[in-house]
Amino acid sequence: MLKQFGAKPSKTDLNRYARSANWNGKHFENLEPTTLEIGLNKLPQLLYKQFFATEGRYPLHKLEVIPFDAEQFNSHPEKIKAVWYGHSVLLLRINGMNVLIDPMFGNNAAPISPFPIKRFSENTLQIIDSLPSIDLVLLSHDHYDHLDYHSIQKLKDKVSCYYVALGVARHLEKWGIDANKIIEFDWWDKHIFNKIGVTFTPTRHFSGRGLKDRAKSTWGGWVLETDVEKIWFSGDSGYGSHFKEIGARFGSFDFAFMECGQYNEQWHQIHMYPEESVRAAIEVNAKNIMPVHWGGFALAQHTWTEPVERFVAEAEHTHVNYCLPQLGEIFELNHSSKIKWWQ
């Protein structure tokens, strides 16, 4: 369990973080005022609901994940392909490169808690064995439902390079990842990876893996640009003005993976309601969208299908194109399936 915590920031780390425009002298901060605290008087009821009032929050049966098909994934290399493994785990085939985003394949989203939050699917860590070599891993922030010690260990020999939010490198290095393989990103930083432009975009969220490291690393989303397509992974975020800024900077996106799920009125400033996810996609001018951050864990009190159902209703109401691939399904970014497979 102790290894799951990762690493505390060193004095050298803190001096480096202080060069960021988003560092306030003690920690990283959002672009607009954001409240994270939950009143002590509400905490007992919230914890009870989280760990014991579970009706409707978990599927009746474990969700199946379609086995990986390497031949299909590698076919037609001129087309971008994607696979979603639940929550925010995404595998992309882009410009001949294999890109893995927030690879939390573990079975527990609360590994340091006495009450585990189990995944909706079984044996997901073993999926890593069937995956191809990974050219690039992208890590949006260091929360346990996005950065998992066991997944990183199992992926270690498969991964060539890591692009991570500023402050996340210290965890990977403690877990044995070569520092030369890791590049940290502050908001709006951009690097070119094998002809793919990669930019780290702001979100309205927070970070931390223990009691004393809150906001000691940053958080964000990822833009991937090729000569022909532009993709955006929103990252975890509350609704905010940063979406319009992202839209203004990039013009439009061919496809966007939108955070949608694990929201609650108590932490509404750091996780959007589904209607806001669609609104944010409209503001960044995304042509086709897909909900992620659901289908993996019950981290909030809504039913497990409510996020996608509300997302679909709002997308249809606002005439936004969307797609609903199954877990493990290989799909192209012009994917238009609207089959409600969870039913």
| Residues 1, 4: Cα–Cα separation, whole Å | 5
The answer, yes or no, to whether residue 41 has pLDDT greater than 80, is no
Q: Give percent of the chain with pLDDT exceeding 90.
A: 89
pLDDT band at 336; cut points 50, 70, 90 = confident
- Strand order of the β-sheet with 196-202 is 190-193, 196-202, 220-225, 230-233, 255-259, 289-292
pLDDT of residue 43: 59
Note the pLDDT tens digit of each residue in 135-169. 999 999 999 999 999 999 999 999 999 999 999 99
Q: For the chain, report the end-to-end CA distance as a whole number of angstroms.
A: 36
Domains of the chain: residue spans and CATH:
2-29+56-332 (3.60.15.10)
pLDDT of residue 54: 80
244 and 210 Cβ atoms separated by less than 8 Å: no
207 and 217 Cβ atoms separated by less than 8 Å: yes
Note the pLDDT tens digit of each residue in 3-31. 899 999 999 999 999 999 999 999 999 99
Mean pLDDT lowest for which of 32-36, 140-144, 269-273? 32-36
pLDDT of residue 311: 98
The answer, yes or no, to whether residue 37 has pLDDT greater than 90, is no
Cα 154–Cα 7–Cα 27 angle in degrees, nearest 5:
125
pLDDT band at 68; cut points 50, 70, 90 = very high
Six token digits for residue 164? 């991570």
pTM of the predicted model over 0.85: yes
Name the more confident of 43 and 163: 163
The answer, yes or no, to whether residue 172 has pLDDT greater than 90, is yes
Cα 329–Cα 58–Cα 300 angle in degrees, nearest 5:
100
Q: Per-residue pLDDT averaged across 295-318, rounded? A: 97
Q: Residues in the chain, how many?
A: 343
Closest residue by Cα to residue 332 from 340, 323, 319: 323
Note the pLDDT tens digit of each residue in 102-124. 999 999 999 988 889 999 999 99
